[in-house]
Every structure is written in structure tokens, then in C-alpha cells.
Structure 1
């Protein structure tokens, strides 16, 4: 038995690193080059890269024409963060070398690692020209374009691999990538078909989630619920499924189920802003306004500047006549940033109902430039100016309203009566 074989036995079976190191030194001195090459490959695969590097460097010194050794050493250099060394090693591989295409692939990987995808693409295209039927090159190009979000360019390479009967490469399921690529292109129905054609064992949690999202996107709510419920049963801590499942249930008006899903999801991700907003929405729709307020407050506790939620909660307070709560909410918001126009309108209503007319007038006027074309706002404004007997302001509000709704005879009569007053 060679020293290399003995070393691997000590490593893999006995887990005896002390004696394995001694046998490694003996292997370097006494084993033939082919045996050492095999040992280097196995150590590299097992993650013993310093030892693999020593073997490949020794073999390269003895056989400088063996460019495949340079590709191994380059990969080890990249793993160590030494991209310059990797590029130098690969640049030494000449076009007439049998390892030239392999070197181009390795060089493309290095440049992609360095964040220079245009050079990576150039190297892969050269490799494709030299070896047009090599599946690994099609895969590398597909993955590059997929990573860059250039889905239309990735698609034909994934399709070519599938046509060649390549189901998996580098632990990537080609059908999964094909589905994700089609989804990225917006071809949702074709993406669904690609996912549905996958064997059961290829439907991991991520893929099942993507399929559920595609059903949701295409408003196939029943299929979305079925798919995402299966994911929930198999992987209940897969947090992203819960907002999607709740949306699918709400799509079928199953609001009680959607609220239950929100609560379960918050058990796994209590700070999920999406779930809190959905919970507010669904609780409001089923009339459970106390629960809606709880959702809103939790969201605002973690994101006090969420203006959409502030407006939604304010709208609820105005609807329910909770004017003190509304004024407190919007006063706090005003201290942090300029209010949204809807907030001026809302706080004006609350001040008016609390008979704080100066504050109400101030905020109605602040809202006016933004809502002068909104007839609902103008009706509120007309009613307010009537209540405080502000004749000139009332005339101006009526004039603006009648410009938008000239057929409202009641308002026209009010306007005419005001004009006739002395």
C-alpha cells in the first residue's frame, strides 16, 4: 500500500491527523507522480487545501507542461483570496494547451469572483467558440447571465442543457433554474409548467415557495394555498411563506384564515413588517378594529417613520371618531417629519370635531393645495366653513367645487344665496 493510501486511511477511517501528517511527508518523498496526483485531488476534495497545494506545486515543478495543475492551484489561490496569483497561474496556459478551455473556465470564475462579469463573459464566449458542444460551458454562461439578471440570455443555455438530458450540474437542478429564469422574464405560466414538470425530489422548500408565489402572481389562489400549505406542513419555519399564504387566502376572501396565517407567521418572525401590515388590512376588513390597531402599533414601534401605516391608522381613528388618539398620532408624526397631505386633512377633521376651530382651519388650508380637485375634501371644507360662518372662504370653496361638479344644484343654490346676501 502506498504512503498516499495509508495517509487517506489514517484521515478518513482512523481520524489520526498526527500519523497522517507523517505519512503525507513520506508520500511526498517516495510515491510516484500519478499516485501523488490522485492524493492531491482527494485531499482537495476533502478540504485539505494546504496539503493539496503542496502536492500540485511539487508536480508542477516536475511537469511544467501539465497545465491542469495550474487550474487546481488557481482555484486554491481564489479560495485563499489571492485572485492575482490565480490570474497569473491561468495566464500561463497557452491556447495550444489541452487545458486551455479549462483554464478559460477557471479564469471566468476568478473574474466573476472579483466582480468583473464582462471579462468573465468574454472568457466563457471564447471557451464556447473552442468547445461548442461542452455542457459545462453552457452551464457557466447560463449561470453568469442568471446571476446578472439577464434572463433572456440565460434561457437558451438552460434549455440546451435540458435538451441534452442534463438534469443537474454542480448541484444545481436545471429545471429549477429554468423555472426561475422564466419567472424572471415575466413568463409566469411557462415558469409554472417548468416547476410542475420537476420530479418530486427536486421540489425543495425554495422551489415550492417560488411555485406558490407564481400561482399567487397569476391569481390561481387555490393552487397557491395548496402549495404553500404543503410547504408549511413540511417546513413550518420557512418564514417567507406566511405573507404569501395569507395573500392567497385573502384573494379568496378567506379573511379569517388569512388572519390566522398572519399570527402563525409572526410566531416565526415577530418583526415582519409585511405580516403586520397584512394583519392590519385583514383585521380592518373583518371589523376587528382593536386587533387592527394592535398590528399598526407594533409596526410603528419598529418603524415610526412608516407614513403609509400612520395614514392607515389615522384613517381608522377618524372613521371611529377616536379624535384624541388621531391628534396624538399625527402630532407625534409632525414632530419627526413633514406631514403627508392626507394627515393634514385627517387632523383637521379631528380638531373640528373637538371644536378646536383655529387648528382645524389651519390644517384644512394646509391640505387644500393638494386636494383642491378632490370633491370629498371640498365637501368637508364647505361644511367646515359653514359651521364657522366664514362667508368668503365658503364662497371660494363652493366656487371650486362647482367648477368640478356643476350639476350639484343644492350647492349651486347655496352659492347663489351667499352671493345675494348683503
Structure 2
């Protein structure tokens, strides 16, 4: 047994001091081929300092071995020594057999730094040298996927699949192709790939993606079946619950959808989105008290959510709780960048309280933001007519009729106003 083997045995027995001694002996006395094996083993075990020492020791006698330089570059990358990695890679000449591998490592290095175009150039150059090398094709596909160049990503993934490959670097290629088609919104194309990937390697992430894609493609039954399968496999996969509930809701299974959301809340009681969804389902089930409770819980977790604030205010307006609505709206409007919908809601609440002066002011604040909203314009026109503001009501109705020219009631009001002016 050589010293390197004794070192590994000592490490396995947690005899660190003995392992260090054997390591120093190995550097002095083991044969070069034995040191290569030791370096590979230590690198796999994460002993980067010792691996680096072996590579540098071997370079003294084997300075022509560019794979040692690549190994040192990879260690430098692991140690976040970008300049050091660049130096080692630059030391490899273009005529070296290791040059394509050096290009691949440098491409990874540039990609990590977000320099995608430079990374692409390195990979394309390497592929010119080794056009049939699958690792380079895969690296290009992965880079294009990250860059959002989906057509190029699909082309390269498909090239690998066409050669009979199913998986590379722990990634199932058909899963990737399905993911790219899904990102493109081409769900019909995505689904067959994801289904085949599932048959090869059923994982929680893949089941979620397949279920989500079914949902996006409006295949609600298959979506719910897939997501229920995921729930059975891992009930703690919290992302599944809103999408499973949505697929059930689309099939008008509201009670079951609500039950799924409640299960999700038991798994993740700190998710404001789940509480918000639970509130909306409660309202669809005509349980306003429960809906209000869930809105309040969502706001406790995310008090700045204007979406939830507006939803709760809409519920208060529906129930005629105008004073409470005004209080919440005024608090929201303390934010100078508040959604203009708050002004519209404030106008409704003040009208409900018969505070018409306040309602007028709120409508005036909202008006510039809703000149293209026919519902707002119609409502505002009727309010102005009641208030006797005939000049402004004519302007508002004219804007409204550009959007809804066949509304006979509004046309009649304009004619009536014009008659009054004449």
C-alpha cells in the first residue's frame, strides 16, 4: 500500500494527523501515476489545498501536462480566485489537446460572472474544434437556456436526444426541452417531453412542472391528478397547493379547492398568498366572514400588499361598512404611490356615507387615471349628473361613448344636457 492509499485510509478512519503525515510522505515518495490518482480522490473529497499541492508538485516534472493547469484553474474557481483561474487557463496554448477543455472551463467561469456572450464565444470556438463532443453541445444548450435564447437551447438539447442520450450531468434532456417549450408558452409541445421525462425519472420538481403546464394548457383534470400525485409524494412541497386548488376551482370543485388551500396553510402558515387565495375561495362559497378573516391574516403577514388591501376594502363596500372602508383607504393613501383604485373606492365609500363633497374630491383624484375605463366613466357620469355638474358630466360621457358608443342611456343624458344648455 503506497502512502497515498494510507492517507485515504487514515482519512476514512478520521485520523487527521496521521493522514497529514502520509500526505507529506506521498509527495516525497509515491510515483507520479499514484499521485495523479491521489489528487483525483482528494479533489472528489473536497481537499482542495492538498489537491493543489499535488498538481503544483507534478507540474515541476510534467510542465507539458495542461490538464494539471486546468485542474489548478478549477481549484482557483472553487476558491473564488478568478484572476488565478484566468492565469492558469491562459497558460494553455491553442495547439494543446487540452485547449477545448480549457475553453469549456473558461466558458463556465464567464457564465458565472454573467458574461454570457463571452461564454458563448468560448463554447462555439471549442465546438469548432470538437464538433461531435456532447459535453460542449450540452454546455451550449444550458447557456442558451439561461440566456433565454430558447430556440437555440432546444436545437442543442434535441441534437443530444437524437444521438440517443437521455441524461447529462444529472439533468434529463427531455425535461429540459419541456421546460423550454413551457417557458415559450408552447404548452402543447412541452407536455409530451415532460411526460416522457416523468416516465424516466419521477421527481417532485418534474411533477410540479408537469402539473403546472397542464394547468396552463387548461387540462384541469390532468393538472389536479398530477398535483395530487405530487402531494402524496411530498405534502411539504408548498408551491403545489395554490395550483392544485386552481385546477379544482376551474372544474367548479370549490369545496375541494378550499380544502386543499386549508391543507396548504397547515403546511405553511406563513404564506400570505395562500391566505389571499383562501379568502377569495371563501367568498366564492358565500362565506364572507371566513373570507374577511383570511384577508386579515394575509395582511398581517404582508401588510403592504395593495392587492389584498383592495380586496378587503371591496368586501367592506359590498357589506355597506363604509366608515371602516374609509379608514383603511385613508391609511393606504398615506403612501404617495398608492394605487389610484383607492381613490375610486374612497369615492364609493364617501357616497355610501352621503359625504358627497368628499366623494367629489375622491372622484376628481381618480379621474385622470381612469379615462380609459368605461366602468369608472359611466359611474362618474351618473354621480356628476346627480350633483348637477352638467359641464363636466358631458365631458365624461363623451369620453365614455368613445369606448361604448351604443349606450342609449348615456346618449340620452347627453342629449338632455345639450337641450338644457340650448
State the match for 1:84 in structure 2.
Answer: 83
Q: Aligned-pair distance for 1:244?
A: 1.1
On the 8 A contact 1:378/1:397 being kept in 2, the answer is no
Cα pair 1:399 1:415 within 8 Å, conserved = no
Following TM superposition, where does structure 1 have runs of at least 4 consecutive aligned residues deviating by more than 6 angstroms?
A: none
Structure 1 counterpart of 2:3: 3
Relative to structure 1, is the Cα distance of residues 59 and 293 closer, same or farther in structure 2, using a 3 angstrom cutoff? same
Displacement of 1:110 in angstroms is 2.0
- Alpha-carbon distance in 1 for matches of 2:152, 2:411: 63
- Report deviation, 1:349: 3.0
Report the CA distance between 1:34 and its aligned residue: 0.5
**1:377-407 deviations in Å (ceiling 9; x for gaps):** 5456536754xxx44x257537854884663
Partners of 1:105 and 1:127 within 8 A in 2 = yes
Unaligned stretches of 5+ in structure 1? Answer: none
TM-score, L = length of structure 2:
0.89
Q: Does the C-alpha gap of structure 1 residues 74 and 255 become closer, same or farther in structure 2, counting only changes over 3 Å?
A: same
The answer to whether the Cα contact below 8 Å between 1:90 and 1:103 also exists between their aligned partners in 2 is yes
What is the match of residue 334 of structure 1?
333
- Provide, for residues 123-142 of structure 1, a one-character-per-residue CA deviation record: whole Å limited to 9, x for no partner: 11111011111111111111
CA–CA distance in 2 between the matches of 1:142 and 1:401?
56
Secondary structure of the residue aligned to 2:121 is helix
Q: Which runs of 5+ in 2 are unaligned?
A: none
Give the structure 2 partner of residue 22 of structure 1.
Answer: 21
Q: State the match for 2:56 in structure 1.
A: 57
- Residue 255 of structure 2 is matched in structure 1 by 256
CA RMSD of aligned residues (A): 2.8
Aligned residue for 2:169?
170
Partner of 1:123: 122
Q: 1:340 to 1:36 in 2, by over 3 A?
A: closer
Which stretch has the larger CA shift, 370-379 or 146-155?
A: 370-379
Q: CA deviation at 1:411?
A: 5.4
How many residues of Structure 1 are paired with residues of Structure 2 in the alignment?
Answer: 416
| CA-CA distance at 1:39 after TM superposition | 0.8
Q: Deviation digits for residues 232-291 of structure 1, max 9, x if unmatched?
A: 111111111111111111111112222222222223333334323322322222211112
TM-score by length of 1: 0.89
Cα distance in 2, alignment partners of residues 140 and 375 from structure 1 = 53
2:382 is aligned to: 382
Aligned residue runs from structure 1 range 157-196, under 5 A: 157-196=156-195
Would you say the 8 A contact 1:152–1:185 is kept in 2?
no
Q: In the TM superposition, what is the alpha-carbon distance from 1:226 to its structure 2 partner?
A: 0.6
- Structure 2 CA distance for aligned equivalents of residues 406 and 33 of structure 1: 91
For 2:167 and 2:418, the matched residues in 1 are separated by: 82
Structure 1 partner of 2:144 = 145
